[in-house]
Structure 1
Amino acid sequence: MSTDYTYDEQGQFFPFFILTLSGLVTLPLTYNLLKPSKDLENTAPRIKSEFKPEDGELIETQKRRRLRKERRIKRIVTVILGYAVIAWMIYLIAVTARSTPKIWDPYDILGISRSADEKAISKHYKRLSLIYHPDKIRPDPSKNETVDMLNDRFVELTKAYKALTDEEVRNNYIQYGHPDGKQSFSIGIALPQFIVTEGNGKYVLLVYGALLGVLLPYIVGRWWYGSQRYTKERVLVASAGNVFREYKDDITDGGIINALSSGDEFKDMLAGKSDTGLAKLEKKVLADESTFLSADDRKTLKEMDDSTRRKTLALLWAYLGRVDLNDDTLNGEKYEAAPIALSLTESFTAIALAFGNARPILGSFRTSQNIIQAVAPESSPLLQLPYFSNKVVESVEGEDAKDHYSVQKYMELPEEKRRSLTVGAGLLSEKQYATAVSVAKQLPALKVSKAFFKVMGERVITPSSLVQLVVKARFVPPGYTNVPEVNPTDLEDIDPDEDDLDALMGRKPANKKTVKTINGQKVETKIEKIQPPLAHAPYLARDHSPRWHIFLADAKQGKMAVPPFTFTTFDKPLFDEAGKPTFNIQTLKMQFQAPPQVGDFTFVMHLICDSYLGLDTKMEVTLHIDDPAKAAALDEEDDISEPDEDSIAGQMHALKTGQAPKKKARKPSDDSSEDESDTDGDAGDTSDTNTETDIDD
């Protein structure tokens, strides 16, 4: 038995090979490109507003450019080329003639029907022998026949006859497919033979060397380097290192903006353009009317030596101050820099959390608000409303106002007074005022109704236990006056079922929640996770879904006590189909380990929205830690058994609950009074909380 290697000389199988390889690459990439994105920014609704800033076209251009970059043009081009190769291979398969190996068939060789019996086969073979026996036939020159060809043909006829009549030969044919037993087999290689013909070997080696020695290591290395080049906040590791070196415990909001300008992403953005327009940019930003810059911030910008970073910082201040640079290129760079700075803010937040100082943490969240709304630090929150300018803010707040108005305070003004302060010559028109009020009434202001601590399944909190901070809040957009009272039952927090592992372990609930019906059977009700509208950020060249952060701080030490928990979706609708707020109570929970000591611990709870200014909540909450002995005493009290059904207490229990109490197994005793001792146990306090903070609505 031997083995033969054959090549695809006619190109029959080579297209199948290439088609398979192309499909393995192209189809997964196609799925990756076409699958619906689960990013919050792609699934959230939008705030209804027709407002567009003066540079709206530039902002939209930057947004489209950013989207194109995120879609990865190289991947799209690869998919297109992949389908082109697939189409070409399908065409070759369709037009290439295919030959299939011929199977040795004795019936076909003898030219006899498969239904013929042995007698008919013998008769037919004798007839063929009279015709094709070498002694009876001579070669036909017109058919290029030779004696050897005639001999071979007669041998095949004989083999076919024996395969159908001789038992031993028949067994070989049945077992191996040939009367001579095992045959040599051929391995087909799906490569055209010209690839391995003499003289082409060096080119084949060159191709293999390029693929395996250059291209494959390059792809793997680039993937590895790319994955190691970025942090989990999707900023360059080098940028995170630069921002880390700029961190200070007493850093100001302006100092954070300066720290963000150190990101290496801006070097790529300004490659070859760091000096272009820098003088004009600084002249605009440092003008005397630029009141949004503090003296320290001005000094920092003037004394910076690195031209790239200096231009970056000037662009960021121009963006935050909404400075018109009278240059489309500079304005485009200004709007391009803002989304990069927003990503770097997340990196600064991670660094601040690692140090645990409350001031930089709060500053990082405020900086996120400033960048999203294009409002400079310490400026009025009213600037985030459409058409509002410093002149309009000054008219509303007054020239000598020491504190800025929040949007809530502005909307709480009587309608006539609010309109008179906002509408007029050099201020807003009636249409602009209506747009600003409409947007204000859609801002997702989360108002806390109650905050308390609890331990699931326990009535007291003991040292080092897993405690939950439960925040009951509802969205009350600014400007709504007829807000319904909170239903007290909505402020209660019920522990999940014992078999609801996701809830018990603090994991995010799935789209289904198990509840119990009256008859005790379990049914599943689907819970839709509700997203708030995308942040109304007309100056930011990217979409952003609001995020709410809750963390606890120690006011005395100025330190973070419990790291932030972030919330992006909610369990109940924020607005109804008509667009009006539902005022549903939302439940936010964060779980952490209680202190190991007994006593009262007062924290400052910060609830911060990263997208809007002036919608934050700051309040004190007290965690009361009880002695474990108290918990043990309550457990013993809970262990008191139910009354007997034949006692008065048992009959009262049956009237109250509609069910007869279970009978107790009594210990053998002559004193019957012991049997009645269990009827005097009263239910203890069933409250799950031991510290509450209520906030009037």
Structure 2
Amino acid sequence: MSVYALIFGAGLPYFIARWWYSSRRYTKDKILNETMANYFRELKESSTIKNLIDILSTSVEFRDEVEYRPSDAKSLQPVTASIKEELESRFSDRFEKSKKYTAPYCHKACVLIYAQLLRVDVPDGHLLRDKYVIVRKSIHLLNGMLQISLTRQWLGVSLLIMELSQQLVQAIYHKESALMQLPHLTPDILRQYYRQKRRHMRSIAQLMDLPEQDRKQLLKSLSSSQYLDVLEVAKKYPQLEVAKAKFRVAGDKIVTPGSIITFVLKLRAAQPGTAKANDVADKENVDPDNEEPVVGEAKEEEEEEEEEALDAVDTLLGGKKAEDEEPTEKSHDAHAPYFPG
């Protein structure tokens, strides 16, 4: 009996206290409070992509969950050298060790994040596994950083954080062409085409809008099967087009001085090569029998959509989940061969 009394009398309070302490270390989104405090302190409205990577590297999760071995400093040297060479030769950028975030785990995380973005090989097996952990964890941590920037209503920084998240998934440096998201494409292929045609392509939509002959000229170094792979993936990337944009005041039909204005933006996603979103928008407000605009129904539908948009904005800024939110339709799987799945 004394043994059971000892277990329940001393052991149970110890495990409860340990659980309570552990749970209080994290936010409701399972990010360490210490990490969020770092983000809150270091994130600025003027932060650049480079600043965001530096701040991300300070995440305490990388210190607690990614082992730092004595051999890591030496193993990181060839990776760092390759990163410097890539940045200088391709983008005229410089990579320097942070003078502000000097902890060894911060430098390690920063180097491996750049290795992911620049698709630099990591020959050391231990570092490669660490890179996979850091990259997967970074996507979740960037959501925490995004919450802070949204709360402060910093549009520019919020967009950069979302872009960095996508760049980590696609393993693309922020100055790199979006075409690098497609399979089999390399910087050398694009560089050769740019020299011949003396023009740049920044989007997948531009590639799909090229005449067939020019597209084959760009991808002439690829085999027939590789060329079809490029087209198959490119056709799955939607084109976002503005269907409607206007300012609204909740509960009022006109914009009055001193009122709180909400900018309502309606976007449509269209697959490359399909009808333009604006054309689709026009057809939605036309009666198929007489092909005349259905003014009453269209206006009512428009007001309902705008109210939904206003509710969505309030939900986003308030951090609340809509009560009657329906599951969205599953989209195509992303082509992300460099992301550790």
Give the TM-score, by structure 2 length: 0.78
Provide the C-alpha distance between the structure 2 equivalents of 1:291 and 1:337, rounded to a whole number of angstroms: 26
* Structure-to-structure mapping, 1:545-564, within 5 angstroms: none
- Measure the CA separation in 2 of the matches of 1:405 and 1:505: 34
Paired amino acid for 2:226:
Q
Report the alpha carbon displacement of residue 338 of structure 1 after superposing the two structures with TM: 0.8
2:290 is equivalent to residue 494 of structure 1? no
Higher helix share: 2
- C-alpha separation between the residues in 2 aligned to 1:404 and 1:415? 15
1:473 aligns with 2:271: no
Aligned counterpart, 1:541: 340
Residue 218 of structure 1 corresponds to 14
What letter is aligned with 1:441?
A: K
CA deviations 1:606-631 (Å, max 9, x no partner) are xxxxxxxxxxxxxxxxxxxxxxxxxx
Q: Take 2:69 and 2:262, find their aligned partners in 1: how far apart are those partners?
A: 52
User: Does 2:153 correspond to 1:347?
Assistant: no
Q: 1:294 offset after TM fit, Å?
A: 5.5
- Kindly indicate whether the alpha-carbon contact (under 8 Å) linking 1:448 and 1:473 is maintained by their aligned counterparts in 2: yes
- In the alignment, the residues of structure 1 paired with residue 128 and residue 338 of structure 2 have an alpha-carbon distance, to the nearest angstrom, of 11
Cα displacement (A) at 1:290: 6.0
Q: Following the alignment from structure 2 to structure 1, what is the Cα–Cα distance between the partners of residues 334 and 89?
A: 26
User: Closer, same or farther in 2 for the Cα pair 1:496/1:451, shift >3 Å?
Assistant: closer
Task: Give yes or no for contact 2:242–2:265 (8 Å, CA) kept in 1.
Answer: yes
Given that 1:381 and 1:407 are in contact with CA atoms closer than 8 Å, whether structure 2 keeps it comes out as: yes
Q: What is aligned with 1:318? A: 115
CA contact (8 A) 1:448 1:471 kept: yes
Aligned equivalents of 2:309, 2:36: Cα separation in 1:
35
Are the equivalent residues in 2 in contact too, given 1:496–1:504 (CA < 8 A)? no
Matches within 5 A, 1:141-290: 204-215=1-12, 217-273=13-69, 275-276=71-72, 277-287=75-85
Q: Which has the higher strand share?
A: 1
Task: Give the secondary-structure state (helix, strand or coil) at the position aligned to 1:387.
Answer: coil
Instruction: Tell me, in whole angstroms, the C-alpha distance in 2 between the residues paired with 1:441 and 1:300.
Output: 40
Residue 299 of structure 1 is matched in structure 2 by 96
Q: Which residue in 2 is equivalent to 1:101?
A: none
> Structure 1 pair 395/252, CA: closer, same or farther in 2 (3 Å)?
same
Q: Tell me the distance in 1 between the aligned counterparts of 2:52 and 2:80.
A: 19
RMSD over aligned CA atoms reads 3.5
Displacement of 1:355 after TM fit? Answer: 3.9
**Maintained 8 Å contact 1:274/1:307:** no
Structure 2's unaligned 5+ residue stretches are: 286-297, 316-321
Show CA shifts across 1:86-139 (max 9, x none): xxxxxxxxxxxxxxxxxxxxxxxxxxxxxxxxxxxxxxxxxxxxxxxxxxxxxx
- CA–CA separation in structure 2 for the residues paired with 1:412 and 1:307: 47
| 1:366 CA displacement | 1.8
Residue ranges of structure 1 left out of the alignment (5+ in a row): 1-203, 512-526, 543-697
Question: May I ask how many residue pairs the two structures share in their alignment?
Answer: 316
1:320 CA drift (Å): 0.7
- Residue deviations 1:388-412, cap 9 Å, x none? 2111222344489686521111211
Deviation at 1:418, TM superposition (A): 0.8
Query: Cα distance, 1:363 vs. partner?
Result: 1.8
The alpha-carbon distance between structure 1 residues 529 and 331, as it changes in their structure 2 partners (threshold 3 A), is closer
C-alpha distance 493-273 of structure 1, shift in aligned 2 (>3 A):
farther
Taking every aligned residue pair, what percent have the same amino acid on both sides?
29
Change (3 A) 1:325 1:302: farther
Matched, 1:441 2:238: no
Q: Distance in 1 between the 2:120 and 2:212 partners?
A: 31
Q: Does 1:409 align with 2:206?
A: yes
What's the CA shift string for 1:653-696, capped at 9, x where partnerless?
xxxxxxxxxxxxxxxxxxxxxxxxxxxxxxxxxxxxxxxxxxxx
Write out aligned runs for 1:621-660 (5 A).
none
Q: CA deviation at 1:304?
A: 6.5
- Which amino acid in the other structure matches residue 337 of structure 1? I
1:228: Cα distance to partner?
1.9
Name the CA shift for 1:505/1:423 in 2 (closer, same or farther; >3 Å): closer
Tell me, in whole angstroms, the C-alpha distance in 1 between the residues paired with 2:197 and 2:53.
27
- Give deviations 1:499-521, integer Å, cap 9, x for gaps: xx99996674748xxxxxxxxxx
